[in-house]
Amino acid sequence: MNASKKSGKRRVASRVLLTILCILGAMGVVVGLGMWTSRYPDVINMGTACMGEMQHMDTMPQMSNMSTDCQGASGVAIPIASLHAPETAAHIAEFTLTAQYAHLPFFAKDQGDAWTFNGTSPGPTLRVRQGDLVVVHLRNRLSAGVTIHWHGVAVPNVADGVAGVTQDAVKPGETYTYRFVAKDAGTYWYHSHQESFEQTGHGLYGVLIVDPAKPSVHDDVDVPLALHTWNGTLAVNMTTGRQRIEAKPGQWVRLRLVETDNTPHLVTLAGVPFLVAALDGHDLHEPTPLTKVPLVVDGGQRYDLRFQVPQSGAAALYIASDENGPYQKTPAVVIGSEGAAVAPVPAVGPKEFDFTTYGQPKPDAITAKSHFDVTYTITLNYTFGFSNGRPGPVFTLDGQSFPNTPMLMVKEGQLVRLRFVNEGNAGIHPMHLHGHTFTVVTKNGRALSGSPVRLDTISLRPGESYDVAFYADNPGLWMIHCHNLYHANHGMDMMLAYPNISTPYNIGYASGNFPD
C-alpha cells in the first residue's frame, strides 16, 4: 500500500513537472517568436518611387497603400541625391567636425571616454549668417559609423543626416560633406542620427547659431547653453558646477538654451525680469517680462532668453534635474560683474510658462481657420512587448512601432495639418519633424491667444493634444519621431514623405544603418 501511494505521488509530481515544462516551453516559443518577428528586416527602403527600391514592400505593410500616390503627374523618380544645396555661393561658412573619443574634464579617471566632435561635448558652436552656404566636413575617428543631423534646420533632403534614408552612416576612417543654405535665423543644434539614442547620449552633439541678416534687436552678450546629463550628473556645456558669464550692468544678454537630454528640465532666471524671445529658433511677437517663471524645456527644444543685467547684483540661471523641481544649486550660470551678489536659488513658482498665451497676436499665414489640404491624426501610446528583438516597453504611433508605423504622404504645395494626441500615460513625448517648421494651431482644441508660435519639436504630456500645420515646401523623405531618443529607439518613429522620391540607402542589418 505504501509503495502504491509513493508510486502515485511520483506520477502526480511527474505530471506537474511535465505541465510546468510545457508551460515554460510555450512561453519560450512565444518570447522567441516575439523577439524574432519584431526584429528589423535586413533591408528597409523608405523610397516612394514605386520602382526597384520598393521591392521590400511586403516587409512594410503600411506602405501597401502607396500605389495610388507614389506615381505623381510625371511618374518619374526623383533621386534623393538631386535634392541638394548649390555648390557655391557669395558667402560660404566652412567647418570640419571630427568625431573622436575624448575624456571630459568632469569625468572621473576610471570613467570611459565621451564621444565628441573635435574633442569637446558639446562640439564646437557653429556660428553662421543667414543666407550663408554652410559646408561641414565630417571625419570619423570613432569605431562606429556616425552621421550629423541638423536639428530644426530646413536643409535639402540629402543633407538631413539620417542613416539609411538620406545617406549611409559614415564608417570609421571615412569622411562626408554636408551642404545647406542657412535660410532661417535662430538657435539650432546638431547631433548624430545613427543609433541616435546611444550616440547623442554619449556626446555627439553641438550648437548651430544662425545670426539674422538684419537683426531687429541688439545683444551685447550672446551665449549658447547646452543641457546634458552624464551618468546621472547634469552639465551645462562642459561644466557641472557654477559658471560665470561676464556682463556689465545695463547690457542686453541672450541665453540660448538647448535641451539635448531625453527628458525635460525645469529652468528659470533669478535676479532680473526676462523675456522668452524665441522658441526653437523662431522669434515670438512682443514677448512680455517674466519674473522667476518656471520654463519646461523638453528634448530637442530651444529657448532664447533675453534680459538686461541689473544695476546691482548678478542674475543666475537655475535648473532642476526634472520637470518638477526643486532647482539645484549646481549646475548654474551666473551673469553679471565679478564680485556682484548672486541672486539666490528660488522656489519653484506655481505657474509655469505657457507659450499658448504668451506675447501678442499678429496676423499669420497659418491659423486655426486655415483651409488644410490634408490632416493626419497621430496617436501616441505605449505597450509592453518586443522592439527590434528586445523585450520591454514599446512606444507606438497609431498603434504601431517602427518600422510598421504608417507613412504620411504629402504633396508639394499642400497645407498639412498634423494632430498629435498623447493617449498614453508613459510620460512626455517631444515630437520632432525633420525638414520643416510648423505653426502651432491649437492646444487641446483651443486656438492660441498670444504670439504665433513656430516650432520643430512639440512636447505633449499625457492626455494632451496639439494641432500643428505647415506648408509642404521641402520635397524628400523625412522622419517624425519622439525626441526622447529612448522612446524613438523603442519604436516611436514614422516617415513623412513626398511622392516619387527614390533613395539608394537602406535601413536594417544588411547596411548597418539604424537612424533611431
Is there a contact between 481 and 160 (Cβ–Cβ < 8 Å)? no
Cα distance between residue 315 and residue 8, in whole Å: 82
Question: Mean pLDDT over all residues of the chain?
Answer: 91
pLDDT score recorded for residue 68: 34
Helix (H) or strand (E) holding 27: helix 2-38
| pLDDT confidence band for 274 (50 / 70 / 90) | very high
Per-residue pLDDT averaged across 372-393, rounded? 92
Give percent of the chain with pLDDT exceeding 70: 88
Looking at per-residue confidence, does 342 or 7 come out higher? Answer: 342
| 438-443 and 465-471 strand pairing | antiparallel
- Asked whether the predicted pLDDT for residue 389 surpasses 60, the reply is yes
Is there a contact between 385 and 370 (Cβ–Cβ < 8 Å)? no
pLDDT score recorded for residue 3: 61
Cα distance between residue 428 and residue 1, in whole Å: 67
| pLDDT confidence band for 19 (50 / 70 / 90) | low
- Asked whether the predicted pLDDT for residue 368 surpasses 90, the reply is yes
pLDDT score recorded for residue 195: 97
Residue 386, burial from CB neighbour count under 10 angstroms (0-12, 13-18, 19+): buried
pLDDT score recorded for residue 32: 54
Q: Cis (ω within 30 of 0) for the bond into 122?
A: yes
Eight-state DSSP code of residue 22: H
pLDDT score recorded for residue 390: 83
Task: Compute CA distances 120 → 99, 113, 123, 207, whole Å.
Answer: 10, 11, 5, 12
Looking at per-residue confidence, does 432 or 17 come out higher? Answer: 432
Range in 271-275, 310-314, 390-394, 494-498 with the lowest mean pLDDT: 390-394
Range in 8-12, 158-162, 217-221, 286-290 with the lowest mean pLDDT: 8-12
pLDDT score recorded for residue 58: 33
CA atoms within 13 A of residue 349's CA, in its CB half-sphere: 17
pLDDT score recorded for residue 37: 62
pLDDT score recorded for residue 73: 42
| pLDDT confidence band for 42 (50 / 70 / 90) | very high
pLDDT score recorded for residue 488: 97
Range in 3-12, 152-161, 310-319 with the lowest mean pLDDT: 3-12
Task: Compute CA distances 337 → 251, 267, 278, 307, whole Å.
Answer: 11, 22, 26, 15
Amino acid at 178: Y
Per-residue pLDDT averaged across 175-187, rounded? 98
Range in 6-20, 422-436, 484-498 with the lowest mean pLDDT: 6-20
Per-residue pLDDT averaged across 352-372, rounded? 97
By C-alpha distance, which of 94, 430, 102 is closest to 259? 430
Q: In this structure, what C-alpha cell is assigned to residue 312?
A: 546691482
pLDDT score recorded for residue 325: 86
Is there a contact between 259 and 225 (Cβ–Cβ < 8 Å)? no
Per-residue pLDDT averaged across 101-124, rounded? 94
pLDDT score recorded for residue 168: 98
Q: Where are the beta strands (DSSP E) in 231-323?
A: 233-236, 242-246, 252-259, 265-270, 275-279, 282-283, 295-297, 302-308, 315-320
Q: How confident is the model over 202-261, as pLDDT tens digits? A: 999 999 999 999 999 999 999 999 999 999 999 999 999 999 999 999 999 999 999 999
Cα distance between residue 283 and residue 405, in whole Å: 33
Range in 18-32, 270-284, 370-384, 400-414 with the lowest mean pLDDT: 18-32
Q: How confident is the model over 299-344, as pLDDT tens digits? A: 999 999 999 999 999 999 999 988 888 999 999 999 999 999 999 9
Per-residue pLDDT averaged across 149-170, rounded? 98
- Asked whether the predicted pLDDT for residue 30 surpasses 50, the reply is no
CB within 8 Å of 17: residues ≥ 6 apart = none
| pLDDT confidence band for 16 (50 / 70 / 90) | low
Q: pTM for the full model?
A: 0.90
**3 state DSSP class of 192:** coil
pLDDT score recorded for residue 39: 83
Q: Where are the beta strands (DSSP E) in 44-158?
A: 78-79, 92-102, 114-117, 126-129, 133-140, 149-151
